[in-house]
A and B are shown apart, each in its own frame.
Chain A
Amino acid sequence: GAVVSQHPSWVICKSGTSVKIECRSLDFQATTMFWYRQFPKQSLMLMATSNEGSKATYEQGVEKDKFLINHASLTLSTLTVTSAHPEDSSFYICSAGTVQETQYFGPGTRLLVL
C-alpha cells in the first residue's frame, strides 16, 4: 500500500520557537494532504486541507497565522507551528489522499513545548 512519512517523529522545543513538520507521500502523488491534531485520549481533529500549489483551507477555530501550511509539491506538505506554546503540545498527524477516496496516514509527530 501507499506510504506516508512524517518527520520528525517527535520534537521538544522551547516556548516561543517555531517547529516545522514534514509530511511526504513516498510512492504516490498526493493532490491533497490533510493535517490533524490529536490530544491525549481524544479523537483526531482536522486542522486544514492542503492542496498542491494553492493556499490551505483551515477548519473553523484553527489560526492560519499560527499553523502555516505549505504544499510545494505533489509529495510534500509542511506544517509550521509558529511561536509554539505549551498548549500546542499535541500529536500531529498528516494524511495524503487521491481522488479514489483512500487516505493514507503518516505515523504522526509528537510535539512537546516546554
Chain B
Amino acid sequence: SQQGEEDPQALSIQEGENATMNCSYKTSINNLQWYRQNSGRGLVHLILIRSNEREKHSGRLRVTLDTSKKSSSLLITASRAADTASYFCATDQDAGGTSYGKLTFGQGTILTVHP
C-alpha cells in the first residue's frame, strides 16, 4: 500500500524559479529517499536522508525531514527545463531495527519547467 502522499500533484514553473515538493508518510522510517522519473523511463536516485538527519543538500537539491510531523520536502533551486519530470518520495520503513530496503512510494509530483 502507498503510505506516502505528495503535494502538489502537479507543479508548473518558469526556468530559474525554485520548485518545492512535499511528502508525508505514516509509519516510522529508517530513511526517506527522493527519486526522479522521466516519462516512460526508469527511476533515478536523487538523495537519501536518514531518520536522524534533518536536512541534506546535493547540488541544487535540498531535502528536509521532520520525523515529528512525518513529512519531507524537496527543494530544487534555479530550476531548468531539463528538470521536467515526475518526482517521487519513497520511505524505507523501520522494521524493528532491521532495514530490508523495501520502499513504499508516494504518489509523485509532476514538475514542468517552462523555458
Taking Cβ atoms with an 8 Å cutoff, the residues of A that contact B are 1, 6, 32, 34, 36, 42-46, 49, 60, 91, 93, 95, 97-99, 101-108, 110
Tell yes or no: B2 within 8 A of A by CB. Answer: yes
Within the assembled complex, what's the spacing in Å between the Cα atoms of A24 and B114? Answer: 36
Interface residues of A: mostly helix, strand, loop or mixed?
A: strand
A97 and B101 contact, CB distance less than 8 A: yes
Residues in B neighbouring A91, C-beta threshold 8 A: 40
A49 and B33 contact, CB distance less than 8 A: no
Interface residues of B in 71-115 (CB under 8 A from A): 88, 90, 92, 99-108
Taking Cβ atoms with an 8 Å cutoff, the residues of B that contact A are 1-2, 30-31, 33, 35, 40-45, 48, 88, 90, 92, 99-108
7 contacts between A and B (CB under 8 A): A1-B45, A43-B107, A46-B105, A60-B1, A93-B43, A97-B101, A103-B33
Residues in B neighbouring A99, C-beta threshold 8 A: 99, 101
Q: Can you name the residue of chain A whose Cβ is closest to the Cβ of B88? A: A43
Residues in B neighbouring A45, C-beta threshold 8 A: 2, 105
